[in-house]
Structure formats: structure tokens, C-alpha cells
Structure 1
């Protein structure tokens, strides 16, 4: 099944095959959009939607820590988020050093690896409660975006020295993959004892809870999680069931008409609506083939790009302004007037 996932991804711009390394891939142009959306959702969940103060680190971690500690008047808790780019091996070094097997990290050979990190500083009395709640919240986050929420679980706790650690894992037919690592540390060696000391009635040493995510692993997990092969007319048709917040493109357009002049009018209408949607920050795909291919072939292409909705315009649309909005997951269509399309789509994508 993994080969099917990789083949569909490579055929639709999510992955590109490496020219120098057999069976290795780079993230393709459509895949970059998916990565961007994953990164954005992580940022909003970790930085924007937290009940505590969170700052971004981009350089000296100790300096950032001292700043946020002072910003919060030396009161716990607070957090630091970090997106760290690490240079990967050259092709020859990668070939010599990469592990064997189907671990996600062995499938990609991008020049850079990006790690998403988040560290919360909490009082010792609250650290275990935070750690347990954090495990639950992060698992819920993965399930919220998943086409198969039941695949996500939290591993057993491992105790090594001052550290307790767990992994959030995704289970597939070929095995399980770690998508995120969580650690509770009672003595974080990235900081001095003096830095971690706070006054809370008495002198205490802050504990840290750290989350680590390999963005490329999260990207490949999103592909595997979203892959499906539903039957259509007694034949399986592979597609991606991306959550609408993660989908690289949110909407596409399909046109059908009996004459070239009608198709030209529909094309102009589609371009106008597409511009309105993009102005409203909706990532929209409008292809030249929208007026040249059959509806079914367009649906196949858009489903294999994981696009949640397709706007269908036909001859009747030119008369009464009514178009159809096709749902990728149900294949059902609902009628929408073109003047209400932008506001209706805005409501669709506002909520999770």
C-alpha cells in the first residue's frame, strides 16, 4: 500500500523522484503547499491558541528564554516555539548514512530538514498535570485532521534519568510511525540552574515539557493518512482525503457546455469567481483544461490533488446564475448561486 501512496504522490506533484538516489524522493511543488498548511496549523495551535504566553525563537535560545522570563515577570508557565532548519547530508553522504527500512525519514532526501519544537516551562507541582494534558491535546490535534482518527495513539511512558518521554504514533498496515515526541524534564540541560529558578512562595526549579516534530515525517504521514481507494463504477479510484484546512488547494473549477462560445463565457465567469475567491484568501485552482476535458476526467484529476470542493459551471449557470459545488468525499453536489459562492465558501472553511 505504501508504494501506491508514493506513486500517487509522485504523479501529482506532492513528491518528485530523486535523480541521484533510487527509491528516494524530494517534496514536490504541490507537496510544498501541503507542508506550508501543516506548518501553519501547527503554528496556530501552538503559538496563537494557547492559554499561556508563547514567543518564537530564531537564534539564541538562552537569550529568547531570558526575554520571555522577564516579559512574564518571572511567573510560570510560559512557552517557546522554534522552527529549526538543519542541513541534511549531500547525496553521497546520505547514501552512506541512511538507515534501511520504510521509516518515513528514509524516504526523503531534501537538502534541509525542518524540526518544529515547542517547550513549556512549568512549576514542579503542575508539571505532571501539564504533561498528561499535553499528550491528550496533541493526540486530539492529529485526530482532528485525520481521515482515520483511530490510527493515533500515545505510547507507554519511558523513564530515563530526569526525563519521562512518550511518542504519538500513527498505525498503518505496514507498521507504526512516530509523528511527535513529548518529554517531561525535571532538569533541562539546555538551561542553567539559575535560569530555571523561580520564586513561588519558595525557590523552585522549573520543569520543561518539550514537543518535537520532524516536518517531513508529518508531511509523509499526512499523505499516508489521507490516501483512499473508494470504488467508483465497480473500479477503485485512488484519491487524497485531506482535511480542508490542510488541502493544498481548497477549490477547483469544472466547466461543461455544448458549444465553444458557451465554454468561453463559462471560462470568463470561472476566472472572475476564481479571482474573487483568491482575493478572499481561498487557495483556488483554475486550469486551462477546465473547459476542454470531460467532467469525470476533471473530477479524477482534482480528487488526486486532494481538492475538497469543485465548482461546476454549465449552460444553465449563464441563465439563472446557479452552479454546483461538488464534495470530494461524498461526490454529492449542492446548488449555489454564483453571487453567494464566496460567502458560502468562507463559511465552509471557517470552521474545522
Structure 2
């Protein structure tokens, strides 16, 4: 469970509910606060993130936080789909893997310095102020710098990659990994799981490629969304353009607390490429008929923010009356089948026996061999009603709940419940693996 008070300061002051008799604070703002609190509480309770208010706040801000088992799996699935998307959409996109720190990235940026060595220099009383400053400067300049983005690594890989494609444009270099970016005004750094596609093309086509990748990326984000309209794209205003860029686009998600960027695309020209190779133009020229220096279109994404975007987008809070007219609240994470961390939960309901557990073990092994993630609910020794099991698995985002009972031992029949429809149907045990596999495969094609 999260510590009490989660969600207290999750919205900016202008968005928080104001307490006034005239209702200056809208009901929508109050609902947004409640939705954020419910989402973060659910993520902690159902193993998407580790408990704790500070960890939840890191997650909400789009930083890499302490993920639980389901959060790790969701992020892994998201990154896997990102790889399929960028490498499968064009024939000439190649993967690279660069170092997260380097001593050759210039004097700027954050540096990695051992605290013991730093304190040893500070603890030398014989050093004057000027000498102390020189020693600290020498230490910092010799220490490796942490990358704030994946761009520089791709630029450094350009020349060997250009030779690989026989100097023909266009082509792209893709990478995913941790980057270190300022978290707030204090200067402290936060880890961010970033994705990067750096596209090298002729100068005359760079703007068209920016438009192409912007359409491609928006379509990709919307593909997995329960509410696609929450994802949008926008042109970056001219006064907000970064140095060395001529155009920019952003892929945005409409969180309960407002719009935030998931991916940013820039037309970067050739200045940074020339700088990476100290202005030696002969190394950089391509064979496009003009021997020009390629222009760079970069696409960088924050996958930690992407994880919380899909969790927020998939959360449904439903209310209904039961047979006794009591109001029931049901929370469901309707995560896309391809991204869902757990596809199937295996349970025995009440009265588990050794024979039923053995059936579950065999079925679990079948799912694992087919690379279908399954949750071994039958290992839970505490007796739980099917109603509570369904509520738990809905909050976890599990696609199907499979209940193995005495009838399974007699006839091979088991009960399968769908997360999205709540419909229960009877199926033979020999059919369930192919049923789930076909369901996920069909969802991936749309």
C-alpha cells in the first residue's frame, strides 16, 4: 500500500480543487485528483510500482522509478513493440548500443565522481582556495560524463554505419537505454528510459521525413490505446525550437493533470553531425548525387512516461448495483492484449487438491513454452472467493482468468473468464493455449 497522502500534490496549483462556495474549482479538477490518486494506489497495490509516496511521485513525473514485477513486464513489452515498430517500418533501421557514460563527450553535462575521492581532495587542509579549485576541476574533467540523451551515441556511429550501407541515404540508427536528465531546479538528476531513432537523410527531404515519422509515431501510440483521442501531435512553435533545429513536433498524452510530451521529433540539420566529427566533411558525404552532408531527424521518447500513459489510458472505474441493490465499484486495467503484463491467471477457486495443482502446473508450463505470461494464482494458500479473484485480476489487467475444478479432472473442461467482457465460457483444457495465442496475435495486427 502507498503511504497516506498519495496524490496530495499531484496537480499543479492552478489545477487543484479550490474550496469556495461559488464552486471556482470545477468538478472535473476534483475528479482528476481522485483519478490520479486511484491510479497510483492501484499501481502500487497490484505490483506495477514499488510502494511509497516518493516512488509514486517519480513515476508520475515520467522518471524511471522502482518498478514491481508487472511494471517491469509492461515496460519490457512496450519497448519490444517500439523496436518492432521502428525496425519493421523501414528496411534500413539498424540497432546500436552505446555507452551510458564517456570521457570523450566534452566538458559539459553531469559527471561521475567517486564520493571518497571527492572528500579526500576536500579534506586536504594544505590546499589553498585556488589550488583546491584546480584539483576539483581536474577531477571533474577526467571523470566520465553521463549521457542526457541517446543522440550523441548515434552521431558517433554514423560514419561506420554509412560505410555499411555503401554511403546510400536514407537510413536510421535506433537505440533504447537509460539517460540522466535534470529532475528539477535543484540540479539533481533523474533516470529516464529513453528510446531514440536518429534518421539520416538528404537535406532536401528532411522536413518531409519529420512529417512521416510524426504520423508514424502518433499512429503507433494510438494503436495500443483504449482511448486513442488522448494521444495527439503538435508542431513546436518557432520560439521553442532547440538550438540547431529548424522544425519540431511533439507526441502528447492528455494526463489527468494536463498534456505532457511522450516523444519529441526534431529537424536538426547537419551542425551536430559536423561537430561530432570535428568538421571533417569528407567522412560524412553520402552518394545521393550531390555528395552532400546528411541532415538529421531525431525521434526521442520517454518510455517511463509512456508506461504511465497507457496505465492511465486503460484504467476504467465502473459502478454497478448488485442483486441486493448495493453499489459496487469495479476497477479494471484494460491494457492492450499485446502490452498486458499477464495474459492468463490460473486458479482453482475453493478446495484445491494435489491433483488440481498438478493440472495447473502442467497448464502453466504449456503457457510458458508458448511465451504467454501466466500468473500462478493456484499457489495462493488463502481461500478466496471467485468474485474477489476476478476483482484482483481485473485490477492487474489480466486478460483471461482460467479456473480449474473437479470438472476438469473428470471431463477436461475448465472455465475461462474474459477481463473485457466479464463473460465466462467453458472450454476444453486442450484448447485454451491456442485460444489465448490466437487472441493476442489478432490484437497485434490491428
TM range (shorter): 0.7 to 0.9
Q: CA deviation at 1:2?
A: 1.0
CA distance, structure 2, for counterparts of residue 304 and residue 6 of structure 1? 12
CA distance, structure 2, for counterparts of residue 136 and residue 172 of structure 1? 21
1:200-215 matches, cutoff 5 A: 200-215=288-303
Distance 1:309-1:291 versus aligned 2 partners, 3 A rule: farther
- 1:33 corresponds in structure 2 to 73
- 2:196 corresponds in structure 1 to 117
CA distance, structure 1, for counterparts of residue 436 and residue 336 of structure 2? 15
TM-score normalised to structure 1 length:
0.86
- 1:337 corresponds in structure 2 to 428
Unaligned runs of 5+ in 1: 99-108
Q: CA deviation at 1:347?
A: 1.3
- 1:52 corresponds in structure 2 to 92
Q: CA deviation at 1:211?
A: 0.8
CA deviation digits over 1:161-186, x for unaligned, max 9?
Answer: 64210111111343111111111222
CA deviation digits over 1:209-242, x for unaligned, max 9?
Answer: 1111122211221221111112343422112111
Q: CA deviation at 1:62?
A: 4.4
Distance 1:337-1:291 versus aligned 2 partners, 3 A rule: farther
- 2:176 corresponds in structure 1 to 83
Choose which of 353, 360, 375 in structure 2 pairs with 1:270.
360
SS in 1 for 2:319: coil
Q: CA deviation at 1:334?
A: 3.2
- 2:269 corresponds in structure 1 to 186
CA deviation digits over 1:80-129, x for unaligned, max 9?
Answer: 1122323578xxx979457xxxxxxxxxx9x6322111111112233222
- 2:344 corresponds in structure 1 to 251
Choose which of 116, 119, 127 in structure 1 pairs with 2:206.
127
Distance 1:8-1:162 versus aligned 2 partners, 3 A rule: closer
Q: CA deviation at 1:10?
A: 1.3
The answer to whether the 8 A contact 1:256-1:315 is kept is no
TM-score normalised to structure 2 length:
0.69
Unaligned runs of 5+ in 2: 1-34, 60-64, 100-152
Q: CA deviation at 1:151?
A: 0.9
Distance 1:266-1:213 versus aligned 2 partners, 3 A rule: same
Q: CA deviation at 1:203?
A: 2.5
The answer to whether residue 229 in structure 2 is matched with residue 138 in structure 1 is no
1:150-165 matches, cutoff 5 A: 150-159=229-238, 160=241, 162-165=245-248
The answer to whether residue 333 in structure 2 is matched with residue 240 in structure 1 is yes
CA distance, structure 2, for counterparts of residue 250 and residue 171 of structure 1? 27
Identify, as 1 or 2, the structure richer in strand.
1
CA distance, structure 1, for counterparts of residue 314 and residue 271 of structure 2? 37
CA distance, structure 2, for counterparts of residue 298 and residue 58 of structure 1? 44
The answer to whether residue 314 in structure 2 is matched with residue 280 in structure 1 is no
Distance 1:137-1:245 versus aligned 2 partners, 3 A rule: same
Distance 1:19-1:243 versus aligned 2 partners, 3 A rule: closer
Deviation above 4 Å: which 4+ runs of structure 1?
18-25
**129-138 vs 45-54, which deviates more?**
45-54
- 1:168 corresponds in structure 2 to 251
Q: CA deviation at 1:33?
A: 1.6
**68-77 vs 282-291, which deviates more?**
282-291
1:98-113 matches, cutoff 5 A: 112-113=191-192
Root-mean-square deviation over aligned CA pairs: 2.6
The answer to whether residue 3 in structure 2 is matched with residue 3 in structure 1 is no
Distance 1:166-1:40 versus aligned 2 partners, 3 A rule: same
